[in-house]
Amino acid sequence: MKSRHVDIAIVGAGIVGLACAYYLALSKRAPKVAIIDPLPPMSLTSAASGENYRNWWPHPVMTAFTDFSTDLMEAISNESDNWLHMTRRGYALATRQADPDDLLRQLHEGYGADGAGKIRTHRKGSTSSYQPATSADWQSAPDGVDVIQDRDILERCFPSFDRDVATVLHIRRAGDISGQQLGSFMLERIRANDGTVIRGRVVEVSRAQNFKLAVADGNDRTSVTADVVVNAAGPSIGNIAELLGESLPVVNVFQQKIAFEDVHGVIGRQMPFSIDLDGQKIDWTAEERAVLAGDPASRWLTEAMPGSIHCRPEGGDRGKWIKVGWAFNTTPSVPAADLPLDPNFPEIVLRGASRLNPGLKAYYDRLPSRLSHYGGYYTMTRENWPLIGPMKMDGAYVAGALSGFGTMAACATGALCARWVYGEALPEFARSLSLARYDDKPLMQSLLAGGNKGVL
């Protein structure tokens, strides 16, 4: 058996493990860091990400957390000549409600004390200064939120939207990045700072003077000793916690997406990431509806479905592809290597997305052959907040439960994890994102009572 000693062992080479390694390895303390994974870096959940980012959340802690992450991504973009392909066309949240009071209340709550100053309303007759997202450049994009209720602006700037849409909230500090590019940037820097990737699965962890990790790669075994262990194993953070004799309050929920070539050019290339906030019943023909309703296994497809179906152009202004997703599954499952992709999902998500963008009906029953259908697990706590910080065992840390926001929050997660490990000053919101929040009963009660948990 081979043996290695490092200062810090990070379990998992997804975007979260890489971000932790990056911020740990780049510290002045110059620790020896190793990332352990049986798979190539960035190839599991991180490869399935929609790669969108936003600072729109129902709670100011999550707003502050993702703002912090966006600051860090912007710093990397500046340093690397935008190696991570960061854009900022925003999120367009559409609803048919003309007076979406609850939504506006949540918007104010999410942006906290300085929220009101960030929100601009555009109604018919108001002197409007609305700037559409014509440019993808994040540096010139506005901040804050535009609440658009002027029909002329809606029809001019969101021409593909359903005419019944009465309000669009355009979140401006939002867009997309290339997660793979961000991962490759970090990996290069980690290696330049003497960091290594060890191929293999952590199958055992014991603790005497320091941690001892048994790493299996086929018949090969490596024993890795380390002073610090970071559990960044994505859907397997619960399993790694078990190896440490602990348990984490997380479940895994499978979610799917499709991407296809928009050969009819339905979705304008300058459209923001667009979300239909309203629930719906999927647009089946009477005949299809009768068949689906007649089978107990498919009846749910004829019943009320939740909102939050989303769609955006993929591949830049000259590209043709679009990405469509709908995280309607809420049933936890045990992650399987063979992903449980539902062959009916592409048609389901297409029908759902056609409610906001009716032009997509052109693809009913004839989705282009150039289509990719993929998925992965949202590893989540009940309140949909991440777990970043110390575990019970001294020297062990967790960086996970990043649900559907791990790409956008990876930088903040890595930076917070490094500060926890080094005992450095943490931002005010950091404790609430660690396991310590479960001791704060009023916070937990309010989080679990809230209907909107920011799942997208």
Ligand X SMILES: Cc1cc2nc3c(=O)[nH]c(=O)nc-3n(C[C@H](O)[C@H](O)[C@H](O)COP(=O)(O)OP(=O)(O)OC[C@H]3O[C@@H](n4cnc5c(N)ncnc54)[C@H](O)[C@@H]3O)c2cc1C
**Footprint on this chain of ligand X (rule: CB under 6 A):** 11-17, 36-39, 44-46, 48-53, 201-202, 232-236, 240, 255, 257, 375-376, 378, 400, 402, 404-408
Nearer to ligand X, 264 or 382 (CB): 382
Smallest distance from the beta carbon of 23 to ligand X, in angstroms? Answer: 14
Token readout for 84 is 């991570």
Nearer to ligand X, 53 or 429 (CB): 53
Residue found by looking up tokens 């997202």 in the block? 133
Smallest distance from the beta carbon of 44 to ligand X, in angstroms? Answer: 4
Q: Which amino acid is at 381?
A: T
Nearer to ligand X, 1 or 425 (CB): 1
Smallest distance from the beta carbon of 403 to ligand X, in angstroms? Answer: 6
Smallest distance from the beta carbon of 66 to ligand X, in angstroms? Answer: 9
Nearer to ligand X, 44 or 154 (CB): 44
Smallest distance from the beta carbon of 183 to ligand X, in angstroms? Answer: 9
Nearer to ligand X, 154 or 309 (CB): 309
CB atoms within 10 A of CB 341: 13
Nearer to ligand X, 302 or 381 (CB): 381
Smallest distance from the beta carbon of 329 to ligand X, in angstroms? Answer: 10
Smallest distance from the beta carbon of 125 to ligand X, in angstroms? Answer: 36
Please, which residues bridge with residue 225 across strands? 5, 212
Nearer to ligand X, 222 or 354 (CB): 222
Nearer to ligand X, 15 or 360 (CB): 15
- Dihedral of alpha carbons 400, 401, 404, 409, sign: negative
Residues 6+ apart with CB under 8 A from 405: 66, 386, 454, 456
Smallest distance from the beta carbon of 409 to ligand X, in angstroms? Answer: 6
CB atoms within 10 A of CB 53: 27
Give the strands of the sheet with 119-122, arranged side by side. Answer: 119-122, 145-148, 167-171, 91-95, 273-276, 309-314, 321-325, 251-261, 371-380
Please give the Cα distance from 340 to 326 (Å, whole number).
16
> Which whole-number Å values give the CA distances from 72 to 7, 66, 140, 395, 408, in the listed order?
25, 10, 17, 26, 10
Please give the Cα distance from 62 to 57 (Å, whole number).
6
> Which whole-number Å values give the CA distances from 206 to 227, 231, 393, 441, in the listed order?
12, 14, 11, 32
DSSP 8-state secondary structure symbol assigned to residue 274? E
